[in-house]
Structure 1
Amino acid sequence: MIHPNNSDKTQLDALISHGMPHRQINNNLAESYKEQRRSFLVKRLQLQAQIMLVAGLTLIAFFIWENSQVEGKIYAFKIGLVVELFTLICWGLCKTSIGRRYPHLIFLSLCWSVTCAVQIDVAFLFNNLEPRINIWTLMFITQATIVPVQWGIHLLAQVGTIVCYLILYLLYSPSLTHSSAFYVEQGLYFFWTCIICVFSVYLYERLRKKEFYARKAMEVAQQKSEMLLLNILPEMIVEQLKQQHTTIADSFLEVTVLFADIVGFTELSTRTPPTELVELLNTIFCLFDQLAERHGVEKIKTIGDAYMAVAGLPKKSDNPAPAIANMALDMQNAVATFNEENNQSFRIRIGISTGPVVAGVIGLKKFAYDLWGDTVNIASRMESHGIAGSIQVCEASYQLLKDKYLLEKRGLIKIKGKGEMMTYLLKKIIIQN
């Protein structure tokens, strides 16, 4: 059984690109949702503070106009000024790092500055402990409408208001000015207002959370789909497919094409279990994929036990031949290392050709990016008419490589449709690029 190196990516990892455990993905999504909710809360608190400032001015003006006594006007102005000042401070804190880190404290501060602070001021100034239910209800409905997140702090704000009132009531022990039925009625209205506000915030936040996770799931699915597409087509071609729906086809005047074939693999397939055979071939081709990425070469496809790659497209290159030559030499070394580590005796036969090609995407189902032209045919013939364990190149490739690589003249070979062609065997690099 063949055991690939631990550093090799599995096929699934390659498809989804740097895949991470589901638990880590879920944790990241949870943190992302919390951060989005915190950002939303801060923005809405700024809006609430602005509305409270404007609303406070109108209420101050009303209370000053309503009070017939000068002393009452002064008290109304002082209470309103305290609330406005506190609201202004909270608004400013929303724009600081403290406010962005602890927005729930600003939420409670804005709420209690209206509900508790006003109740305390009225109790101290006028010895009046009538519950300010109208103000409380307005505050809670405002926050439930403008800041519909974190239902827990809405409930805490409401409970805190009631606790504050009860403490004042116990301290002052006033006599009731209305009938018990009046307070029961007001209490019921207030109770159901609080329940409806908290429940509506809970439902809204639950909906927003579902929408957030659904959107993120869609984004992850799109990323996986794009990674699958990038494993089939070059990145430039994927971008073209996104932008246009017409046939994609381009001509390239000079590219270098490589064909590689594992010698004796067909015979091996007749006496090797299918699972082991596929694992073996996948391990070798994964090594070739890594080499293609390292040398900037575009893998085109595999056909059985044959491997096809090209340099110079879809991004045009000034020196495609050296890139393919370096990859071919490294492929030989990779196979030799593989044989040594796995007690095998594989050899590969490689053919290289340089020249013009036409490249494009064909098909509607299982579409592929492919090449056409004499250059492709010659590269295929260089491989099929080559020598096991050798790299055979055509005359055009030889002219581009002869100054920096050691090549051995093999001689003329007959190529179908082209007649006799001079060929060379690539041995090694003599001048580093």
Structure 2
Amino acid sequence: MIPKRDFGITRLEALFTPEILDLQMDVSLVESYREQRRRFILKRLELQTQIMLIVGVTLTAFFIWNNQQPNGKIYALKIGLLIEFFIFICWLLCRTKIGERYPHVMFLNLSWSVTCVIQIYTAVLFDFVEPFTNIWNLMFITQATLIPVLWRTHLISQIGTIICYLGLYLIYRPQFRHPLSLYIENGMYCFWTAIICVFSVYLYEKLRKKEFRARQELEIAQKQSEKLILNILPQVIADQLKQQPTTIADSFLEVTVLFADIVGFTELSSHTSPPQLVELLNEIFCLFDELAELHGIEKIKTIGDAYMAVAGLPSHRSDHAIAIANMALDMQQAVNQFNQEQNQSFRIRIGISTGPVVAGVIGLKKFAYDLWGDTVNTASRMESHGIPDFIQVCEASYDLLKEDYLLQKRGLIQVKGKGEMITYLLLGAKLNNQ
């Protein structure tokens, strides 16, 4: 039983629908970008933690060597070890499920482990609330360089550092140890460093997003092109053309060719509007295309209201005659069902022939996969000299089908260009084969 078909959208319309504009496609693109960005952040966070561990060791060593105050070396060592400990914890978290799921949180943890921990530690131990603007700037620049995405997160980390310092300042109310102009100068440097870092990250991420979408659109366009090519050429032939863009021609010793023609279509065109006529023909041929795909048959082309298909190439199959016979019977049933659903009265005439052919692609423009040989001519004559609503087969096809199908001998008929030929009418499959 041929399944009913929804005629709401044709194959041709579906083929050229611009999927890149579809909302679902756009959502999937955004999700893909987020996933790619998440992996990028994790890799860069691990790299930054490793770099910061090395930087922390060198700075701690320098402060220990340069500190001449009593117990200063011990305090420098404690501060250095504390910061290294927090950075190491961030590195470990980046390698866990938590880090994979919340990379932006790991980003803030790493930033504040360096900028805020030292402020809090020195404030608690020494009532020292001087802003460590050099360390802030180093951290802001490092993160903007290594992780140039999530500009909002960069901004939050910078604001959090400032809020931490202001909170400590309000709690401890320290006296200024340097001229006010120095604080203003350092504050201006820190402010513009933060602004430049955030702005550069914003521009970089915007560029990356555009590049990502451009790559996605290119991939979709390539897939659409591939889909269009495969609607014109068989997969094997398309692959051959990609590897070797030359004339392709192959000989096949035995295939089965089918021609089908809609009876009275020319007369119908005289009293039917062109758009309606083309739409009806398109719907019928779309049904035939679905049957060809169902039976594993290669559609070759349509010529006006004629439909041509073949089984047994470009990939060989031993049951080529059976596949074509099944398709021919299903085509009759599909047209009958179409007539009932669309209140039409189309009739088809089908011809089948078996034998050798030459198949290939020729030309430079509007090329197509085509067949040549006496078998093709015979199949065309089987159709044109056939009977409406019947399937006429040549003797070669009859020999391959007679065991499994009911065939009625039509007898000798005069065939243009061939002389007299014995032909048969394919009526259906035998009961033991159904």
Counterpart position of 1:259: 259
Q: Structure 1 stretch 68-77 or stretch 215-224: which is displaced more?
A: 68-77
Counterpart position of 1:432: 433
1:364 partner SS: coil
Counterpart position of 2:268: 268
Q: CA, structure 1 residues 12+36, in 2 after alignment: closer, same or farther (shift >3 Å)? A: farther
Counterpart position of 2:78: 78
Q: Which runs of 5+ in 2 are unaligned?
A: none
Q: Structure 1 stretch 380-389 or stretch 55-64: which is displaced more?
A: 55-64
CA distance in 2, matches of 1:92, 1:246: 57
2:337 partner SS: helix
Q: Pairwise mapping of residues 264-303 of structure 1 onto structure 2 (< 5 A)? A: 264-303=264-303
Offset of 1:8 from its aligned partner? 6.2
Offset of 1:20 from its aligned partner? 8.5
Q: Does 1:182 align with 2:182?
A: yes
Percent of residue pairs bearing the same amino acid type: 68
**1:421 is aligned with what amino acid?**
M
**1:104 is aligned with what amino acid?**
H
Offset of 1:28 from its aligned partner? 1.5
CA distance in 2, matches of 1:78, 1:357: 87
Q: CA, structure 1 residues 324+9, in 2 after alignment: closer, same or farther (shift >3 Å)? A: farther
2:356 partner SS: strand
Q: Does 1:87 align with 2:87?
A: yes
Offset of 1:6 from its aligned partner? 2.4
* TM-score normalised by structure 1 residue count: 0.95
Counterpart position of 1:114: 114
Q: Pairwise mapping of residues 316-355 of structure 1 onto structure 2 (< 5 A)? A: 316-355=316-355
Q: CA, structure 1 residues 425+8, in 2 after alignment: closer, same or farther (shift >3 Å)? A: farther
Q: Does 1:50 align with 2:47?
A: no
Q: CA, structure 1 residues 37+385, in 2 after alignment: closer, same or farther (shift >3 Å)? A: same
CA contact (8 A) 1:8 1:286 kept: no
CA distance in 2, matches of 1:407, 1:21: 52
2:110 partner SS: helix
Cα deviation digits, residues 82-125 of structure 1 (max 9, x gap): 22222122112222221111101000000000000011112222
2:39 partner SS: helix
CA contact (8 A) 1:392 1:424 kept: yes
1:258 partner SS: strand
Counterpart position of 1:143: 143
* TM-score normalised by structure 2 residue count: 0.95
2:408 partner SS: strand
2:71 partner SS: helix
Q: CA, structure 1 residues 8+322, in 2 after alignment: closer, same or farther (shift >3 Å)? A: farther
CA distance in 2, matches of 1:32, 1:213: 10
Offset of 1:357 from its aligned partner? 1.0
**1:270 is aligned with what amino acid?**
S
Q: Pairwise mapping of residues 383-422 of structure 1 onto structure 2 (< 5 A)? A: 383-422=383-422
CA distance in 2, matches of 1:182, 1:208: 39
**2:101 is aligned with what amino acid?**
R
Counterpart position of 1:152: 152
**2:370 is aligned with what amino acid?**
D
Q: Pairwise mapping of residues 358-373 of structure 1 onto structure 2 (< 5 A)? A: 358-373=358-373
Cα deviation digits, residues 28-80 of structure 1 (max 9, x gap): 11111122111211111111111111111111222222223573222222222
CA contact (8 A) 2:20 2:217 kept: no
1:259 partner SS: strand
CA distance in 2, matches of 1:345, 1:367: 35
Number of equivalences: 430
CA contact (8 A) 2:10 2:283 kept: no
Q: Pairwise mapping of residues 123-272 of structure 1 onto structure 2 (< 5 A)? A: 123-272=123-272
Cα deviation digits, residues 314-355 of structure 1 (max 9, x gap): 111111000000000000111111122222222111000111
Cα deviation digits, residues 102-152 of structure 1 (max 9, x gap): 101000000000000011112222221111011110000000000000100
2:381 partner SS: helix
Offset of 1:239 from its aligned partner? 1.6
CA contact (8 A) 1:259 1:380 kept: yes
Q: Does 1:374 align with 2:374?
A: yes
CA contact (8 A) 2:19 2:25 kept: no
2:310 partner SS: strand
Q: Which runs of 5+ in 1 are unaligned?
A: none
1:169 partner SS: helix
CA contact (8 A) 1:360 1:370 kept: yes
CA contact (8 A) 2:353 2:382 kept: yes
CA distance in 1, matches of 2:270, 2:63: 97
1:313 partner SS: coil
Cα deviation digits, residues 272-314 of structure 1 (max 9, x gap): 1111111111111111111111111111110000000011111
Q: CA, structure 1 residues 154+19, in 2 after alignment: closer, same or farther (shift >3 Å)? A: closer
Counterpart position of 1:60: 60
Q: Structure 1 stretch 5-14 or stretch 375-384: which is displaced more?
A: 5-14
Q: Structure 1 stretch 39-48 or stretch 192-201: which is displaced more?
A: 39-48
CA distance in 1, matches of 2:9, 2:315: 26
**1:333 is aligned with what amino acid?**
Q
**1:98 is aligned with what amino acid?**
I
Q: CA, structure 1 residues 12+410, in 2 after alignment: closer, same or farther (shift >3 Å)? A: closer
CA distance in 1, matches of 2:328, 2:8: 20
Cα deviation digits, residues 190-216 of structure 1 (max 9, x gap): 111111100100110111111111111
**1:301 is aligned with what amino acid?**
K
**1:432 is aligned with what amino acid?**
N
CA contact (8 A) 1:16 1:227 kept: no
Offset of 1:171 from its aligned partner? 0.8
